[in-house]
Structure 1
């Protein structure tokens, strides 16, 4: 058996152990990810085999045999590179060959949080062995969990990669009971600085493949829901809303009027972090201490939802922007995941559709009843 296949088998075993732990009263960091087996290639809508697996991958390789269980949204201008051990995903940032981002999963503590940060500081340090200082340290969302992100400036000396004198490293570390995830971006300091929002959005977009998420059972207004989709969530679609078909990382997508869109999805992470992520997408400031507790609430069939609203410039993951936009969203925290309902578009159009949005949110419930 090749090293790649052994590594893939090891990762699957580790994650299955994590899954078993979550079945008990575990305090795992990634609460919503009940299974996250390795994927040596991203799942991209409409992607060719070369785009998914890289041109160096041969049919029948471990990369192709790995289950497509993790998905993400590729930031604008980024490119998928061939798989490279030990990286699960390997990306080129903004068309620059000397700027890369990647995701690594290591068993256990992966060397420990502080030891890895110290190793990164040395990797960015001076030729006389002095460690570079941490410019910034904060929390970000990674695969549904709260990860520690550090920013380090210095002289980058990567293993087999470009030697950069004026470089920046941005790295996120997410410990879990059986493994540790590392997301990392390195390159010229100015470019990494400008691409950091895209890097954070990529980390936040990493999610379980929709095939492994609860299956939706949607009902049309006035139509009894038979629950044919099995256990999952159901809802009542407002009159006039258009089903946009399956989308990655969503349970459902709807066209609302001519210019608005609404999505229903599930993911992990704290409700506070997800609310701040939405606000950041609109260019708004985070809630701050106590801000989440002041948000409006709404009763639904799944329990109490927290409502988020922001006006500003909408910036989507595919690079699209909407000036004078509005986002309204509902966050429903559940024991092992969160359900999100989000409506966005031009401000006036969203305001006109808000009553229907609230009707949809109230109708959310378990199963097909």
Structure 2
């Protein structure tokens, strides 16, 4: 559990934030300049806020009213910045062992060999930092932070300086880190795809130094106003499904979504694995009757739960597919033509290709 309620004035910028989360990975989401990194530095003890309180697990590390100010090096926090900040004069192994030295006599939760194996960096141990790619450097930085035996890991936009290929290289290791350890993580990003892939349980949205939202990731994703103008088109839901089987000749995977089939481009996971799907509201079409002889493979029987105006020409339709929510964003004209009403049965039509690269392994505790 991490809990804080702080106020901090920094020049003309006022940060006033309050939230609590017990998720394995808590996401801090917002545009540049919103106050995300300042908030992380307050948690780490690198900035002392004007007033408030910060709790990490069962430890109070800052309380202005009671005079509690635990120094940064005593908070047992691992910090990974946008830039790896490795020691250029040391090789990879020595950079990693610096983190272990910093842990002192604390109980060894993260053994050296385990961290090396988890991050797949065994072949890099003897190399100098200058010869590493950006993705390799970030994996080393994460490993060094882990070996300091932290009670909390702060990741401050660790993918921001990486290109798409390097991001794809590092993301699975952060997922594995959360899966294979019980270490809580606060992950900062302004990129929605990163946030959804990692912080699948709890997101805190920061706007102009204020908490605009704190709660379940699925509720956050359904709020276009929280995503920013550039990413509002990604608004939708997270559907949970189970892999039924793979259709090799067609390059597809059939999922079971609350008893209904759902087809996506072929996944790497095995049959029986649980996955999470990001389904954008703009990719969902509706029909009163079940369509026939159409190219779309995904036809989900649903029921209308709510119909809400969304601007001058659009309507958001909240659907229920089994026990799960599904959103559709259609034109007001289409909604009128369908004569949509709460409780009405409909069919949701989703193109399989609209779900490409938007399915992730469902990780327990995220």
Q: TM-score, normalised by structure 1?
A: 0.29
Q: Which has the larger radius of gyration?
A: 2
Q: TM-score, normalised by structure 2?
A: 0.29
